[in-house]
Structure 1
Amino acid sequence: MSRLKLFLPLMVFVVLAIFLLNGLERDPNAMPSALIDRPVPVFSLPVLGDETRSVTEVLFQGEPALLNVWATWCVACRIEHPFLNKLADQGIRIIGLNYKDDNAAARKWLMDKGDPYALSVIDARGRMGLNLGVFGAPETYVVDRTGTIRYKHIGVVDERVWRDKLLPIWQEIQ
């Protein structure tokens, strides 16, 4: 029994080391979404720049799209925005969800920095974001032609994220 007591700290250390090493291999941005393989939540929201017009989840029927959650107060969105413009120039359909933002500031942002969005809906109170499970901006969802969410990415979309994560799914749903 006394020999077992000598090896007990070593065994505890080995078990803890295994758990810690396993944690290091996980992607800290990988946040599972309960909405994967489910339809975009039901909504009716005004369109930025044409606030008298509202759109619904039917917007996602017919052709695939990226749903990008953005805001002018979001520092990471400033980093991501030029790449979204590049994707839009390549014909990628992007729908914006302007999240808890000032409409005038958002319109100015798009005018100054370019507008990659086929359209951007206004989520002033964050209700749509809540229904999507948004943690913050930016977040991007890949939505297929039936309006089904296929993937969720939290954080900046850049060349590497597009190539390694989003593009393979995009090609799959075309």
Structure 2
Amino acid sequence: MQRLKLFLPLIAFVVVVLFFYIMVSRIGDGDYNPQELPSALVNKSFPAFSLSKLEEPSIQIEQKDLVGNIALINVWATWCPSCHVEHGYLNYLATEKGITIYGVNYKDKASLAQQWLAEKGNPYRFNIFDPQGRLGLDMGVTGAPETYVIDHRGFVRMRFQGPIDETIWQEKFQPMMDQLRAEQKAPGGA
């Protein structure tokens, strides 16, 4: 038994090295994509919440306010460099393609976020102000930007981590949006 205790650190080291070897080989093989992190919310209702509207703090937004439209829910913040990169494309999606986008202003200051929207344009139907990150925690947010696709019933159908651009839209989002529109139009889809 005493000899076994001597080998425990070596055994633990070998296990850790094997774990990292497997992860690195998956990344090298292209099997691992950090932007395709699974979400426990997929095919489940968007989490319940009651938070103020960024644009009008006296108004409370709740889960039921997201129901009725196939939409994107975009988690963003003024402190997020990738959100700066993505913002112009979100404006394009909202104005040119007519995509409904709800914002979750995540762990930010309201005054900075309002200034950002005034200067850069506001692609969001409304923004949920989440200064403490509680909604983000319930959503499983690991950083910003993150974008979720919800169906007209308010169920999360997809999660994407990172900035959206035309390539990402065409490869990931457009097929999902087309699928959801077809499901909504199908008998029993309403």
2:78 aligned with 1:72, yes or no?
Answer: yes
What residue identity is the alignment partner of 1:66? Answer: L
Aligned with 2:56 (options 39, 50, 75): 50
Instruction: Give how far 1:134 is off.
Output: 0.1
The structure richer in strand per residue is: 1
The residue aligned with 1:134 is 141
Distance 2:72 2:132 in 1: 21
Identity %: 42
Distance 2:93 2:106 in 1: 21
Distance 1:22 1:136 in 2: 21
With normalisation by structure 1, the TM-score equals: 0.87
What residue identity is the alignment partner of 2:51? Answer: L
The residue aligned with 1:35 is 41
Distance 2:146 2:80 in 1: 11
What residue identity is the alignment partner of 2:55? Answer: G
The residue aligned with 1:94 is 101
What residue identity is the alignment partner of 1:75? Answer: P
Unaligned runs of 5+ in 1: 1-15
Distance 1:43 1:161 in 2: 29
Instruction: Give how far 1:22 is off.
Output: 6.9
Q: Structure 1's 21 and 101: CA in aligned 2 closer, same or farther, altered over 3 A? A: closer
Moved more, 56-65 or 135-144: 56-65
The residue aligned with 2:174 is 167
Provide the secondary structure at the position in 2 that maps to 1:166. Answer: helix
Distance 2:99 2:25 in 1: 40
Aligned with 1:147 (options 144, 154, 158): 154
Distance 1:138 1:110 in 2: 15
Q: Structure 1's 119 and 22: CA in aligned 2 closer, same or farther, altered over 3 A? A: closer
Q: CA RMSD in A?
A: 1.5
Unaligned runs of 5+ in 2: 1-20, 182-190
Moved more, 25-34 or 75-84: 25-34
Question: How many aligned positions are there?
Answer: 158
With normalisation by structure 2, the TM-score equals: 0.80
Distance 2:107 2:58 in 1: 18
